[in-house]
Amino acid sequence: MARKAGRTPEETRRVLLEAAAVVFRERGLSASLDEIARRAGVSKGGLLYHFAAKEDLVRALANDVLDDLRAMVFAEIDPEDSAPGALARAYIRTCLAVTPDDEAAIRETVHLLAQLTVMPDVVELMRTDSQRWHDDLRADGMPDHVRTLVINAVDGASMSPFYGGALSEDDLNTLKRQLLRFTLHSELWDALSPDTAASSSH
Amino acid sequence: MARKAGRTPEETRRVLLEAAAVVFRERGLSASLDEIARRAGVSKGGLLYHFAAKEDLVRALANDVLDDLRAMVFAEIDPEDSAPGALARAYIRTCLAVTPDDEAAIRETVHLLAQLTVMPDVVELMRTDSQRWHDDLRADGMPDHVRTLVINAVDGASMSPFYGGALSEDDLNTLKRQLLRFTLHSELWDALSPDTAASSSH
DNA sequence: TGTACATCAGTGAACGCGCGTTCACTGATGTAC
DNA sequence: TGTACATCAGTGAACGCGCGTTCACTGATGTAC
C-alpha cells in the first residue's frame, strides 16, 4: 500500500503524535517506535517518513504539548477580567481543574512531560517555555511575592501526580479557592509579604 | 584481581551507588551499567555482583535518595521548636536552601529523582514515601489549608529546576521567608483560608 | 602456628536480543502536454 | 480527455550496534582442625 485512502499526510502526522503521547506516557521514552507506529496503524518505515529520527518525534511532541498547554491557559482567561492577575487566575483554573476529566487530562500531560525531560533537547525547550511563562506572568500586574507564591503552589500541586503524591479532591479545591482569592483581593497582598509585621491588621 | 585492597564490599556498594547517582542524573536512566561501573572503578561484572540486575540498582538508589532526603529534613528540625509546624519549617528550610551549595545539592537530588521515575517500581516507592510525608505533616499540627498551601509551594519551587524554570535567588529567598512566616504566625491562618471574608481584620 | 578448604568479591569475554536506522521498492496522486 | 512521468506517502525486510545478562574462572580472605 501507499497513501492510505481518506487520510491526508497531515492527519497521519497527528495520529502519530497522539500515539506517541500515549505510548511515551505509559512506557516512558524508551518505548519503541514500532509500538508507536502500530498504535497509529502505520508501519515503522511510515513513521520514519514523517519523523526522520526518534529525536525529531520527541521534540515535535514536546513542542505540541507545551503549545497546547499555553493555548489552554490563554483560552481560560476571562475576557471580562482586566484586573491584575487575570492570567494567573486562568493558570490556576487550568492547572487545578477539579472536574475529574480535566484533572485527568492535566495529570496525563504533566506525566508525559516528565517522561520527555529525559532528553536534554526537551529540557532546553521547556526552559525556554518556562522563561516565557515567567515573562507573561510578570506582565500580569501582581507583585512579585504574590505571583511567585501562587504559581509555585500551582506548579507543586499539578506536578504532584508525577511522583505519586496526589492531593485529595478537597485539598485541591481548597487550594484553588485560596489561590484565586490571593490574586483577586489586593488588600491581602500586604499580609502575604514576608516583610510585613506579623499582625494582620490593615 | 579479586577483592580490592582497602575497600570493603560495603564501601564498593556505596561507591557504586554514588557513581550511579551521578551518571543517571547526567545521562538519564538509559545510561549504561558499563559507564557506572567504570566511574566506580569496578568491572561491569563486579557491579552485577552487588546488584543482580539494573532494576535492583535503580531501586536501591531511589530508596537511598528518599531516605537521605527524609533524614536531612528531620535533622533540620529545631529541637527548641515545639510549636505546630516545626516539621513544615524544617521542610521549608531544607528544600528551599539559599546557600549555593545546598541549593545545588537539592536541585541535583530532585533532578535525579525525576530521572528515576521512568521506572514504574520507583514511582511506587515514591508514592509510598509521599504518603508518609503527608501523614507526618498532618501530625505536625497546622490546619489543612495552611499545610497544603505551604508544602505545595515548596514542592513547586524545588521541582522547578527539573523543567528548567529556576527561580531567582531573590524570589527563592522571599518565598522561603513568606512560607516560614505563614507557619509561625497562627494569627495569619484565618487570612489564608479560602472561606474567610476578604477583609483581613482579626 | 601451619595447612586445607570454602566462600567472598570480584574479572573479562561472550552471547543474544531489541531497537533505531537504512534501503529498495511500490501504488496512489498531481501535473504537463 | 487521455497519457507519460515525477513525486509523495508510504511498506517491510535487513542490518548493525549497544547494552543487559550469563558464565567460567580467580585471587584474596575467613574458618576448622
CA angle, corner A149, sides to A193 and A73, nearest 5? Answer: 135
Q: Which three cell numbers stand for residue A92?
A: 490556576
Q: Which of A95, B159, A19 is nearest to A27 (CA)?
A: A19
Selecting from A117, A171, A185 the residue whose C-beta is nearest the C-beta of B163 gives A117
Q: In this predicted structure, what is the pLDDT of residue A125?
A: 97
Residue A46 (CA) to nucleotide D11 (C1'), in angstroms, measures 7
Residue B122 (CA) to nucleotide C15 (C1'), in angstroms, measures 30
* Interval A32-86: pLDDT, tens: 999 999 999 999 999 999 999 999 999 999 999 999 999 999 999 999 999 999 9
Q: Which three cell numbers stand for residue A24?
A: 511515551
Contacts of A185 in chain B (CB under 8 A): 198
Return left, alpha or beta for B6; rule: phi > 0 is left, psi -120 to 50 is alpha, else beta. left
A192 CB below 7 A from strand C atoms: no
Q: Which of B124, B9, B141, B145 is nearest to B58 (CA)?
A: B124
What is the rounded average pLDDT for all residues in chain A?
93
How distant, in Å, are the alpha carbons of B3, B15, B17, B34, B45 from that of B38? 16, 11, 12, 6, 11
B45 CB below 7 A from strand D atoms: yes
- Cα separation, B173 vs A193, in Å, equals 12
Residue B44 CA from chain centroid, whole number = 29
**Please, what are the averages of pLDDT over each run of 10 residues along chain B (202 residues)?**
72 97 95 98 97 98 98 98 98 93 90 93 96 98 98 96 88 97 97 73 40
Strand nucleotide closest to residue A47 (CA to C1'): D10
- Cα separation, A61 vs B21, in Å, equals 28
Q: Which three cell numbers stand for residue A100?
A: 475529574
When pLDDT is cut at 50, 70 and 90, the band that residue A3 belongs to is low
Q: In this predicted structure, what is the pLDDT of residue B162?
A: 84
- Cα separation, A124 vs B165, in Å, equals 10
Q: Are B195 and B143 in contact (CB under 8 A)?
A: no
Q: Are B133 and A165 in contact (CB under 8 A)?
A: yes
Q: In this predicted structure, what is the pLDDT of residue A197?
A: 57
Q: What would the DSSP string read from start to end of A128-190?
A: HHHHHHHHHHHTT---HHHHHHHHHHHHHHHHGGGGT-PPPHHHHHHHHHHHHHHHH-GGGHH
